[in-house]
Chain A
């Protein structure tokens, strides 16, 4: 009788767990696998039968061939520049102790969370638009923080005594760096480089806005083929090329990171930091601070300055509907906030369910199931925003799921982009929960569901709040996917900025700067809310 009841309870718990995993699986199957499948179908079976001639046509076209080459090239050069500027910065911020360092560390991350359209607007404000240099600098601006955080994070904990040992054994500064420090940093540098390369490879907003009509990458070309030339087949084939390249890049980066050297002797950061000593160290610090100020500070400051050429008229101007617009740009602010709330809710529900399901599967050693689900929820990271937007455009325009007239399609696309981040923030926290806490709760009389509510949920809740802040910021700034599916009467703020930037005239320009400043402030607020919640005793993010 007792055993029977236990078995019944086990069955209902199992059903709940399956339901938990079903939420992300169903969501991603419908909103990710189906659209990607539709792109593949359109690319290789244009008439219903297998036909790969489209690939030949694309690669026979010298213009398109050039675009594929340029996409790789600009990503590689952007990555090299970012590493060259970022590695010294990482050293300064992780090894030197100076006044204002923790504030500077926080500020350096700001560009990374800024929407691409704001970054583009900031570089236009500098007056370097429609040039390769602008693109490369904007990519460096954007990704500087990735290098500082990833490489600096390791550098701060690297045991300085191995370097001191090398010096005592007779190696010079440069030799020590090359033979001791650099090999130890290699995993972090490889990780940072592969992430930066991926971001630059799939960069859309920056290239669309700063590249002008002459510079194009796979991402922007997919958009042009779709929106301007209505050539959906070529767009589909380019999407497939893009997808293959991105998956290859992810594979290479996984391989590079997998080859970590033997365990490093890591120290607490407080042991490795020291004040800069000697004029060389101080000059090195000053040079790096100057790079940070010039690269990261100037564009933002100039953008804000150019939003107020004659007081705040550009901001008030946002309330009026200009010619060619169906609503005043200020409405886009409310639209974006509304979408961000919905997108955050969707991302938290789907990502949270995925995180709990993944944690449970790995606890029960269901490796296969865990790996499959993990790959599925991480897939949106590999599928570029443009692919998502294009896939949505060609999938949800007819029965069985016609979302053309539903505003929900945009928050859904935003949530899709945010889900991997939610999972990556929440999952480690759940996995880090000491299993004995659950056991202790059970011994004290909590039944399984109560254990979940009393232990897992409150501990995960703080991580979920942090994830919510990220998801909100991601939704606010999402540009690539939105541009494909946005309706003219309900424009999001990034799309409104893009349209304002595309209009001639000084007034429109100031308005674009004003709208960008608003978007930047909103993003910064949601990220700052996160920073306030970052509390050490639950885990570091």
Chain B
């Protein structure tokens, strides 16, 4: 089990990771999401031993890793853009970690072939890595990192550079691999779809701090800060107040969890939590409408701000529409949660 405790990593005085504590229990997949620059990759590099922590500890099974150099940690790291060895063929790349663990050349090769087969690349053994497509390179990189059976597998934007259709297929493959091998994994992405599809637990990282962590469904439905809400697609955020136990915003009353404080609050709603109604609470003018595959995203400017509303049909520019709220889709947040 990996335990990170108050980790801080600075680059020339500036914290990339400010203060992060998290745990990855054996056999679970933890996914760190966050926008670029949030410190995700630095966190992985620190766990791998490639960046020295400024303060805090990283422990594996209660043993502090501070004095353990990268090559003794027996962790796997799949790099962003893969970092395959250009001077070795596919098999040479995959067998590398096995050779380092003092396996005989024959055993190393046999296990490398197994790893290649597990990612569906039989017959690619002697191809040059430069000749592979992006998706094939990604699979070789995955095979290379899982072949030595690392105690912890880390993946840094594993699907980052691939096109959408390929990503969606590989997410399914990764999911199957994680489940079948009961691997302990920590991976990083800026793409929430990947995170929610693969993770047992999601950590939202923002400016080097943990914004929220928890079970994917819970995080997806109930962001706890305004940053997490916006990051997860709650694009409509407006002021609210709790008066006499009822939370009210400009769009009407919202069911409030018992623990929310009284006084000034914020309410966040996804575009599909709003709808166009005949007699809504607020009326505004359509200032934009874009096609989004299964719906239209209509922007409506009102005296309370501009809302993004998911609509089934396109709306005409300049039309006046009323906006209504689906109270169950609203999330109540503390005010001024934005750090």
Known: A442-B50, A442-B70. A450 touches B100 (CB 8 A): yes
Least Cβ–Cβ distance between A454 and chain B, in angstroms: 7
Which residue from A443, A445, A450, A455 sits with its C-beta under 8 Å from B85? A455
Q: Which residues of A contact B75 (CB under 8 A)?
A: 443
A537 contacts across to B, CB distance below 8 A = 86, 128, 130
Q: Are A444 and B79 in contact (CB under 8 A)?
A: no
Q: B87 — which chain A residues lie within 8 A by C-beta? A: 458-459, 538
Q: Which of these, B50, B68, B71, B130, contacts A2 with CB under 8 Å?
A: B68
Min distance, Cβ B84 to any Cβ of chain A, angstroms: 8
Chain B, interface size category, equals: 20 to 34
Please measure, in the bound complex, the distance between the C-alpha atom of A520 and the C-alpha atom of B145, giving whole angstroms.
Answer: 51
Task: Report chain A residues within 8 Å CB of B128.
Answer: 537
Query: Which residues of A lie under 8 Å from residue B97 when comparing CB positions?
Result: 444-445
Query: Across the interface, do A447 and B86 meet the contact criterion of CB distance under 8 Å?
Result: no
Asked if A30 is an interface residue, CB under 8 A from chain B, the answer is no
> Does A277 make an interface contact (CB < 8 A)?
no
Interface 9-residue window, one of A129-137, A411-419, A431-439: A431-439
B67 and A6 within 8 A (CB): yes
A441 B67 Cβ-Cβ under 8 A: no
Q: Is the CB of A445 within 8 A of B67?
A: no
A5 at the interface (CB under 8 A from B): yes
Chain B 71-109 interface residues, beta-carbon cutoff 8 Å to A = 71-77, 79, 83, 85-87, 96-97, 100-101
Shortest Cβ distance from A459 into chain B, in angstroms? 5
A446 contacts the other chain (CB 8 A): yes
Question: Which residue of the partner chain A has the closest CB to B67?
Answer: A2
Task: Closest B residue to A443 by CB, please name it.
Answer: B77
A450 to B96, CA, bound (A): 11
B148/A445 in contact, CB under 8 A: yes
Shortest beta-carbon distance, A278 to chain B, in Å? 40
Shortest B227–chain A CB gap in Å is 30
Size class of A's contact patch?
A: 20 to 34
| Measured CA separation A439–B145 after assembly (Å) | 13
CB distance from B186 to the nearest CB of A (A): 13
Residue contact A434 to B83, C-beta cutoff 8 Å: yes
Smallest Cβ distance from B5 to chain A, in angstroms? 18
Query: Is B66 engaged at the interface, CB distance under 8 Å to the other chain?
Result: yes
- Assuming the contacts A455-B85, A537-B86, asked whether A443 and B130 have C-beta atoms less than 8 A apart, the reply is no
User: B13: CB under 8 A from chain A?
Assistant: no
Collect the chain A residues with CB atoms within 8 Å of residue B71's CB: 442-448, 450-451
User: Which chain A residues lie closer than 8 Å to B101 at the CB level?
Assistant: 445
Q: How far is the CA of A450 from the CA of B75 in the complex (A)?
A: 17
**Given known contacts A447-B69, A447-B71, A439 and B79 CB-to-CB distance under 8 angstroms:** yes
In this assembly, does A252 line the interface, its C-beta being within 8 Å of a C-beta of chain B? Answer: no
Q: Which residues of B contact A6 (CB under 8 A)?
A: 67, 69
* Majority secondary structure of chain A interface residues (helix, strand, loop or mixed): helix
Q: Cβ of B83 and Cβ of A437 under 8 Å apart?
A: yes
When distances are taken between beta carbons in the complex, the residues of chain B under 8 Å from A459 are 86-87
Given A440-B79, A444-B96, A444-B148 in contact, is the A3-B85 Cβ separation under 8 Å? no
Name the residue on B nearest A462 (C-beta). B87
Q: Which of A1, A2, A454 contacts B96 (CB 8 A)?
A: A454
Report chain A residues within 8 Å CB of B48. Answer: 439, 443
Inter-chain CA distance A1–B66, complex, in Å, is 11
Shortest Cβ distance from B76 into chain A, in angstroms? 7
Which single residue of chain A is at the shortest CB-CB distance from B85?
Answer: A437
- The distance in angstroms between the C-alpha atoms of A458 and B74, with both chains bound, is 24
Measured between beta carbons, the chain B residues less than 8 angstroms from A448 are 71
CB-defined contacts of A538 to chain B, threshold 8 Å:
86-87
Shortest beta-carbon distance from A201 to chain B in Å: 41
B70–A3 touching, CB < 8 Å: no
Residues of B within 8 A of A442 (CB): 49-50, 69-71
Query: B144 contacts the other chain (Cβ, under 8 Å)?
Result: yes
A282 to chain B, nearest CB (A): 39
Cα distance, A2 to B68, chains bound together (Å): 7
A388 to chain B, nearest CB (A): 36
Least CB distance, B70 to chain A, in whole angstroms: 4
Nearest-Cβ distance from residue B118 to partner chain A, whole angstroms: 17
Given the contacts A444-B96, A445-B148, A436 and B68 also touching, CB distance less than 8 Å: no
Bound form: Cα–Cα A439–B70 in Å: 8
The interface residues of chain A lying within 8 Å CB-to-CB of B73 are 443
Bound together, the chains give a CA A6 to CA B83 distance in angstroms of 26
Contact A440 B83 (CB under 8 A): yes
| Distance in Å: Cβ of A133 to nearest Cβ of chain B | 50
Give A441 to B48 CA distance when docked, in angstroms: 12
A491-505 at interface with B (beta carbon < 8 Å) = none
CA–CA, A442 to B73, complex, Å? 10
Assess the A445–B83 pair: CB atoms within 8 A.
Answer: no
A440 contacts which chain B residues (CB < 8 A)? 77, 79, 83, 85, 144
Chain A residue at minimum C-beta to C-beta distance from B80? A436
B72 cross-chain contacts in A, Cβ below 8 A? 445
Least CB distance from B31 to A in Å reads 19
- Does B148 lie within 8 Å of A439, measured CB to CB? no
Binary interface encoding of chain B residues 210-228 relative to chain A, with 1 for a CB under 8 A from any of its CBs, else 0: 0000000000000000000
Q: Which of A231-270 contact B (CB under 8 A)?
A: none
What string of 1s and 0s marks CB contacts (under 8 Å) between A147-165 and chain B? Answer: 0000000000000000000
A446 touches B85 (CB 8 A): no
- Max count, chain A CB within 10 A of own CB: residue among B66, B69, B75: B69
Q: Which residue of B lies closest to A441 (CB)?
A: B96
A445 and B100 contact, CB distance less than 8 A:
yes
User: A154 to nearest B CB, angstroms?
Assistant: 26
Chain A residues positioned under 8 Å from B74 (CB to CB):
445
Q: Please name all residues of chain A whose beta carbon is closer than 8 Å to the beta carbon of B79 when the two chains form the complex.
A: 436, 439-440
Which parts of B149-200 form the interface with A (CB within 8 Å)?
none
15 A-B residue pairings within 8 Å (CB atoms): A5-B67, A6-B67, A9-B69, A439-B77, A443-B70, A443-B71, A443-B73, A444-B148, A445-B71, A445-B100, A445-B101, A446-B96, A446-B100, A451-B71, A458-B87
A residues lining the B interface (CB < 8 Å):
1-3, 5-6, 9, 434, 436-437, 439-448, 450-451, 454-455, 458-459, 537-538
Enumerate chain B interface residues (CB-CB to A < 8 A). 45, 48-50, 66-77, 79, 83, 85-87, 96-97, 100-101, 128, 130, 144-145, 148
A sample of 11 more A-B contacts (CB under 8 A), given A2-B66, A445-B71, is A1-B67, A6-B67, A437-B86, A439-B48, A439-B70, A441-B100, A443-B50, A444-B100, A445-B72, A537-B86, A537-B128
